[in-house]
Amino acid sequence: MQWQIPIGLQIVPAGIIGLGVLTVPESVRWLVNKGRYDEAWKSLTWIRGSDSPEVQQEMDEIRAGVETELQKTEGFTLMELFKPRYFKLCCIAFIMFMFQQSTGATACKS
């Protein structure tokens, strides 16, 4: 009972959050990335509460950012990470992450 009651109590808010996620619309950036511009505009105007010029400017910035990202990642494959230059960088990042985790630097101090 020591662990069953806390787990049972934690299931209730987790279930509420899980069901609530189903009501959240897709992000504007994701919709733009998929080419669904009309839905993205509706979502952005709903989030901002208006369709003012500032909101239109934000939409233009999102579209420009997605287009830039697509241009820069065009032709990229995951196998490129195993090329010697990038593989070395990935290994360094992974090792730094492991050392940081092993020191307990992410432990919450309250």
Q: Where are the domains of the chain?
A: 4-76, 77-110
- Tens of pLDDT, residue by residue over 32-89, are 999 999 999 999 999 899 889 999 999 999 999 999 998 988 888 888 888 888 888 9
User: Residue 64 — φ and ψ, nearest 5°?
Assistant: -65, -40
Taking a C-beta distance cutoff of 8 angstroms, is the pair 44, 58 a contact? yes
The long-range contacts involving 30-37, CB below 8 angstroms and separated by at least 24 positions, are: 32/62, 32/63, 32/66, 33/66, 33/70, 37/63
pLDDT of residue 82: 85
Residue 65 CA to residue 32 CA, distance in Å, equals 10
What is the C-alpha end-to-end distance of the chain, expressed in Å? 27
Q: Is the pLDDT of residue 105 over 80?
A: no
Taking a C-beta distance cutoff of 8 angstroms, is the pair 51, 45 a contact? yes
Closest CA to 90 of 74, 104, 79, 101: 79
- Rounded average pLDDT over 19-23: 92
Residue 96 CA to residue 108 CA, distance in Å, equals 19
